[in-house]
Structure 1
Amino acid sequence: MTSTVRPEEAHAPTAPEFPMTRAAACPFDPPPALKADQEQGPLRKVRLWDGTTPWLVTRYTDQRTLLADPRISADVTRSGYPSPAPLRGTSFSFILMDDPEHARQRRMVTAPFTIRRVEALRPAVQKIVDGLIDEMLSGPARTDLVQSFALPVPSLVICELLGVPYADHDFFQLNSRILISRTAAAEDRAAAHGNLIGYLDELMADKIARPADDLLSGLGMRVEAGELSRREAAEMGVLLLLAGHETTANMIALGTLALLEHPAQLALLRDTEDPKVVTGAVEELLRYLNITHGGRRRVALEDIEIAGEVIRAGEGIIVPNDIGNRDPEVFTDPDRLDLRRDARRHVAFGFGVHQCLGQPLARMELQVVYSTLYRRIPTLRLDTALDQLSFKHDGAVYGVHELPVAW
């Protein structure tokens, strides 16, 4: 039997606010209210910042089913799309589009992220990681791991891949942080987006005039061929630059913190020489932490019956991957970090046609980091109390603002 929600019920005061608050004592876990929702039922209505009440989908199987369903849309301009913040002054790249335009633009940047091409980068990433560790070891035996290691690793990699000068990293990291903040004013986010677009547009002009062997030069060729406008190419550059450093940087720092808080698991990773163990550990950390904690956002194009409910055309849908990855129907004892678990079925990178383009690169970077950092600094420890750390509750990407460590 299915149930439907009457219009007057859609805005009922009982709908809880989303995003929900994590428990301060459990910073690695999804919010307790989200866990309770999963236990009570697979779908429910939640209330967003603008008073709209999209559907929240909490169970793994239903999440994958919906993310693979062509009757839901990722188009942020459609009525009913559950935006995480005001969209004033912001334009969008292909991840917030539907096919066929989504597929057309995505294909233009797929080649550098294939497994074969990414594996060819592994020695260069290893060199970056070793060089940054050398710098840390040459100075005082304490540092903020975010600034000295977690941010530079993926920033250096994505800058090399795109053809962006790493000397500009302070500029694009600052504007990226504002752009993905849920609490920043709409005009500040619009200004940050404009700054990044302007920067990439100027860089694109230079790549068109003087092409090199990098991804932005490839997009410049698409512009010259009339396949993209320069604005579209700049938007794609912003997306790749932001996603390429922000998510992996937070995963490096948060993953390190989780391991420091689970020393027996850290020992498994530090002491192994088996690349399969490292690969499995990366997948488990991605499952356990899942830093993209605001959920995948969609809107229904047609009525969809699922899990005993009917999602009506035009209603918003939020798929929080972090709670999907803690579904006990799929992962035994899901709140336990177990690096020997087979966690390959996780949905940290999403699912369906919009799953993360850069996941092979992220996986490889994390494998290099996690197999190197703790082996080379075996006495690495947290240099403050866990409850003194500041977590990124206000952003689209979860992590820590700073990670003081010593050895």
Structure 2
Amino acid sequence: MTSTVPTAGELPADIPDFPMSRAAGCPFDPPPTAIAKQKEAPLAKVRLWDGSTPWMVTRYAEQRALLADPRVSADITRPGYPLQTAVAPGSQSGSGSFILMDDPKHATMRRMVTAPFAIKRVAALRPAIQKIVDDLIDGMLAGPKPVDLVDAFALPVPSLVICELLGVPYSDHDFFQDNSKVVIKRDAAPEERAGAMRALGDYLDGLMGEKLAAPADDLLSGLTERVKAGELTRQEAAQMGVLLLIAGHETTANMIALGTLALLEHPDQLALLRDTDDPKLVASAVEELLRYLNIVHNGRRRVALEDIDIAGQRIRAGEGLVLATDIANRDPEAFPDPDRLDLRRDARHHVAFGFGVHQCLGQPLARLELQVVYSTLYKRIPGLRLAAGLEQIPFKHDGVVYGVYELPVTW
């Protein structure tokens, strides 16, 4: 039987705030309140920063169904969309990004940047990525100890790769990394976040101007061809560049550092990875770490375009949805013994990259980067260990993307 949504006056008084807090001493696990809600029901009301009460979708099957449902919108401008944070007056709040659009415009814009991320094209980058990883490890081994793995390795690896792919000068990395950190910090002031987005937009617009005048063999130059053909405005091209630049380094950097920390805290699993020459085990390890850690920890946001009946519940048109993929990846119905890190597990069906038409465009590149890192770092520095206690590691509880701000290591 399908129930109807309660009115505001009928909402239960104990609706939890979202995002929820992780348990002290359990930095790799989702918040206990979220897991408790998952055990209770596939959908639960939560309260956001602005007092709105969207549905949190707690379970794997329902998340996949809704993420693939054309009646569910990713359009941030639609009424009822559950915003992550407050938006500065007059700012676009990221609405120029194709990941916050619906088909057909989403599909049209996405296709313009799909080719460089195709699996075969990405696979050809392996030798270049391997050299980047080896060079950075050489630098670490030649330098002082301890070292911050985030600053010395985890952040430079994907930054160098995405700069090469896009055609962005790596010499500008301090600028775009600093502004990216502001954009993805949940408690940054709306004006501060809008300013960082403007700075990045202006920067990419300037690069677009350079590529229009002198095209090169890179993704941004490819977008300028779309601008010349009238398929994109220069502003739209610059916004796509901002999205790809931020997503191309922040997410993978956090997975490198957080994944390394998780392995150091699970030495039996680290030994498996360090001692293997089997590329299938390395690939399996990447998928399991993506599932286990799930750095997108504030939920994927959507809004219902029509009434939707699912799992005995009716979601009304205009109601927001928060699809908590971190707990979907810990759903025991999809992953037996889900709280155990098991690098031999077949975790390829996880939803760390989302699902449906909006699943992560750059996932082939992220997978390759992580495979190269996880198969190289621990072999070349077999004595790698933390240079601080776990309780001293600063975690990104305040970020849209989860990870660590610093990871002091030695060997």
Above 0.5 in TM-score? yes
Is 1:219 matched up with 2:236? no
The Cα shift of 1:10 comes to 6.4
Q: Structure 1's 300 and 257: CA in aligned 2 closer, same or farther, altered over 3 A?
A: same
Distance apart, 1:11 and its partner CA: 5.2
- Whole-Å separation in 1 of the counterparts to 2:7 and 2:341: 42
Deviation of the 1:6 alpha carbon: 2.6
| Alpha-carbon distance between aligned partners in 1 of 2:6 and 2:331, rounded to the nearest angstrom | 29
**Separation (CA, whole Å) in 1 of partners of 2:10 and 2:375:** 49
1:281 is aligned, of 285, 289, 293, to 285
User: What CA distance in whole angstroms lies between the structure 2 residues aligned with 1:268 and 1:37?
Assistant: 34
Query: How far apart are the structure 1 equivalents of 2:288 and 2:98?
Result: 29
Aligned pairs for 1:145-224 (under 5 A) are 145-224=149-228
Structure 2 residues not aligned, in runs of 5+:
none
SS at 1:78's partner residue?
coil
Q: Say which SS state the counterpart of residue 76 (structure 2) adopts.
A: coil
* In structure 2, C-alpha distance between the alignment counterparts of 1:83 and 1:113, rounded to whole Å: 28
**Equivalent residue number for residue 101 of structure 2:** 97
TM-score between the two structures when normalised by the length of structure 2: 0.98
Aligned to 2:235: 231
Decide which of 301, 305, 309 is 1:305's aligned counterpart.
Answer: 309
**Whole-Å Cα distance in 2 between the matches of residues 150 and 11 of structure 1?**
44
1:366 aligns with 2:370: yes
Distance in 2 (alpha carbons) for counterparts of 1:236 and 1:22: 33
Letter in 1 for 2:295: I
Q: 1:99 to 1:11 in 2, by over 3 A?
A: same
Q: Is this contact kept in 2: 1:20–1:34, CA < 8 A?
A: yes
SS across alignment from 2:120: helix
Matched, 1:44 2:35: no
C-alpha separation in 1, matches of 2:169 and 2:180: 16
Mapped pair 1:375 → 2:387: no
SS at match of 1:63: helix
Distance 2:62 2:10 in 1: 21
Contact map agreement 1:145 1:402 (CA 8 A) in 2: yes
CA deviation string 1:355-400 (max 9, x = no partner): 0000000000000000000000000001000001110011110000
1:174-228 C-alpha deviation (Å, 9 max, x unpaired): 1001011110000000000000000000000000000000000000110111000
- Deviation per CA, 1:5-30, whole angstroms, max 9, x where unpaired? 23224654321100000112100000
Query: How far is 1:265 from its partner?
Result: 0.2
* Pair 11,198 (structure 1): closer, same or farther in 2 beyond 3 Å: farther
In the other structure, the counterpart of 2:391 is 387
Mapped to 2, the partners of 1:11 and 1:123 lie a distance apart of 56
Aligned length: 407
- 1:224-281, Cα deviation, whole Å (9 max, x unpaired): 1100000000000000000000000000000000000000000000000000000000
For 2:135, the equivalent position in structure 1 comes to 131
Secondary structure of the equivalent of 2:301? strand
Q: Which amino acid aligns with 2:344?
A: R
CA distance in structure 1 between the partners assigned to 2:337 and 2:83 by the alignment: 33
Q: Give the counterpart letter for 1:54 in structure 2.
A: P
Q: Distance in 2 between matches of 1:362 and 1:8?
A: 42
The CA deviation at 1:87 is 2.6
Amino acid at match of 2:335: F
Partners of 1:136 and 1:306 lie apart in 2 by 52
Distance in 2 (alpha carbons) for counterparts of 1:37 and 1:330: 17
Q: Does 1:332 align with 2:318?
A: no
Distance in 1 (CA, whole Å) between partners of 2:302 and 2:206 is 33
> Does 2:348 match 1:344?
yes
Aligned residue type for 1:161: L
- Cα deviation, residue 343, structure 1: 0.5
The Cα offsets for residues 326-352 of structure 1, whole Å up to 9 and x where unpaired, read as: 000111100000001110110000000
Give the aligned partner of residue 5 of structure 2: 5
Q: Determine the C-alpha separation between the residues in 1 that align with 2:233 and 2:11.
A: 41
Amino acid at match of 1:394: D
- Distance, in Å, in 2 between the alignment partners of 1:164 and 1:321 is 31
Runs ≥4 residues deviating over 6 A: none
TM-score by length of 1: 0.99
2:83 is matched with 83
Q: After superposition, give the CA deviation of every residue in 1:57-76 in whole Å (9 maximum; x if it has no partner).
A: 01000000000000000000
SS in 1 for 2:235: helix
Within the candidate set 295, 309, 327, 1:323 is matched to 327
Secondary structure at the counterpart of residue 409 of structure 2: strand
Would you say the 8 A contact 1:11–1:53 is kept in 2? no
Once residues 66 and 97 of structure 2 are traced to their aligned partners in structure 1, the CA distance between those partners, rounded to angstroms, is 22
CA–CA separation in structure 2 for the residues paired with 1:232 and 1:403: 36
Backbone CA RMSD of aligned residues: 0.8
Partner of 2:69, secondary structure, is: coil
Measure the CA separation in 1 of the matches of 2:393 and 2:11. Answer: 37
* Amino acid in structure 2 at the alignment position of 1:368: V
Structure 2 residue aligned with 1:55: 55
**Rounded Cα–Cα distance in structure 2 between residues aligned with 1:234 and 1:86:** 23
Per-residue deviation, residues 26-68 of structure 1 (Å, max 9, x unmatched): 0000000000000111101100000000000010000000000
**Is the Cα–Cα contact under 8 Å of residues 11 and 52 in structure 1 kept in the other structure?**
no
Determine if contact 1:10/1:45 at 8 Å carries over to the other structure. Answer: no
Deviation at 1:86, TM superposition (A): 1.7
